[in-house]
Amino acid sequence: MILFLVMAGALWGIGAMMQAPRRVRWTMIGVLYLAVLLVQFLLPADNPLRLATGGSRPEWVLVGIAAVVFVAYRRGLRWLRARAQANAPQTAVQTGAFAPVELERYARHIVLREVGGPGQKRLKDASVLVIGAGGLGSPALLYLAAAGVGTIGVVDDDVVDLSNLQRQVIHTDARLGMPKVFSAEEAMRAQNPHVTVRPYQRRLDAAAAVELFAEYDLVLDGTDNFDTRFLVNQAAVATKTPLIAAAITQWEGQISLYDPANGGPCYQCIFPEAPAPELAPSCAEAGVVGALPGVVGAMMAMEAIKHITGAGQSLRGRMLLYDALYAENRVVALKRRDDCPVCAKHT
C-alpha cells in the first residue's frame, strides 16, 4: 500500500505543477486505485505486481468504501449548507433615508448630476440577479455591491477551482473548493455590508428560472454556453425582465441590453440558434486573456447602474463589441425579429 500512496502523491504533485484542476488530480488518483483493484482481483496471490501493491483484497475494498463515504459526506455538507442558505431569512434592505455611513460611501455617486440622491435611492431599492459567478460575474457582482444595489442574487452550481483564479477575481486561493456563490457572497459582504446577497447554489432550469426572475428587477447573464443563455432569455422574456447579456472569447467581448417589453430585441432575435461547437469554443478550449472578463464584466455593472438610475443611453437595441487585442470598440444596431419564436408571442 506504500507504493500506492507514493504513486498517488506523485500524481498529485505532477498535477499541481501542471496547474491541473483538483477534479482532474482526484480523477487520476481514482484511476490509479481502480488499476490496483484490478491487479488485486485478476492476478494470482503470488504475482509480483500484486505483491508490490501490498494489502489484501478486503483492505483495498475498504479503502474504496471509505473514499466513497468521505466524498458523499462532503457533498452532503455542501448540499445542506446550500439548502440552509437558500431557506434562511434574508436581512431586509434598509429603506427610507440613508445612514450617514452610506452617504459617505456613495458620495461620489451622489455628486454626479446623472445619478444624485434619487438615483442612489433607486440603486438601494433595486434587485439584480446575476447568472454565473465566473469571469463575467466576478467583476459585475463586485461593482454592483460597491455601487449599493440593495439586493443582489447570484446563481451558480460550480465550486472554486485553481484554473478560475486567473480571471475570476471575486474568488481567492483560500476559498478553493468552496461553492462559487458562497465565495462571491463572502467577497461582496466584505465589500459592502449594506447590501443583501442571495446565493443560489443550483443549476438553473426553466421552471426555477421563471419563478426566480419574477423576484428581480434586472437580470445579468454571464454564462458561457448557449443552452443556458437561451434558457435565461426565455425566462426573461416570459417575466418581462430586462436582460443584460455579455460573452467573451480569447481577446474579444460583446454586451447588450435585451428588453423586448420596451421595444428592444430579445437575445434569440439576434442569435436564433447556437453555432456549431467549432465556431464558438469555450474559454477552456480557446483560452481567454485574464483581464478581458474584468473589462466586459465591469461594463455589465455599468449598464445595470445606467438602467436602474436612468442615466445616459442604454444598450437597448445596440450591441457593443470590444476588441482588447487592438483596443477597438464598435457599436452595431440590433433589431427585433417579427418571427422570433421567443419574444413575438409575448408582445
**DSSP state letters, 303-329:** HHHHHHHT-S---BTEEEEEETTTTEE
Overall residue count recorded for the chain in this entry: 347
Point out the least confidently predicted range of 44-53, 140-149, 153-162, 265-274.
44-53
d(CA 29, CA 48) in angstroms, rounded, equals 22
Second-level CATH architecture of 97-346? 3-Layer(aba) Sandwich (3.40)
Question: In percent, how much of the chain has pLDDT > 90?
Answer: 64
Mean pLDDT value across residues 20-47: 76
What is the pLDDT at residue 92?
43
Contacts of 18 (CB under 8 A, 6+ apart): none
Mean pLDDT value across residues 243-272: 96
d(CA 170, CA 180) in angstroms, rounded, equals 9
Q: Which of 266, 258, 323 is nearest to 296 (CA)?
A: 323
The band of 62, judged by pLDDT with boundaries at 50, 70 and 90, is confident
Mean pLDDT value across residues 111-135: 96
Residue 95 has pLDDT above 60, yes or no: no
What's the distance, Cα to Cα, between the start and end of the chain in Å? 68
Q: Which of 305, 339, 277 is nearest to 218 (CA)?
A: 305
Cα Dmax for the chain: 85
Residue that wins the pLDDT comparison between 179 and 23:
179
8-state DSSP, 41: H
Average pLDDT, the chain: 88
The band of 105, judged by pLDDT with boundaries at 50, 70 and 90, is very high
For residue 139, give Cα distances in angstroms to 50, 54, 135, 246, 301: 53, 51, 8, 13, 8
**Helical (H) or strand (E) element with 11:** helix 2-17
Domain extents for the chain?
A: 2-81, 97-346
Residue 79 has pLDDT above 80, yes or no: no
Residue 170 has pLDDT above 90, yes or no: yes
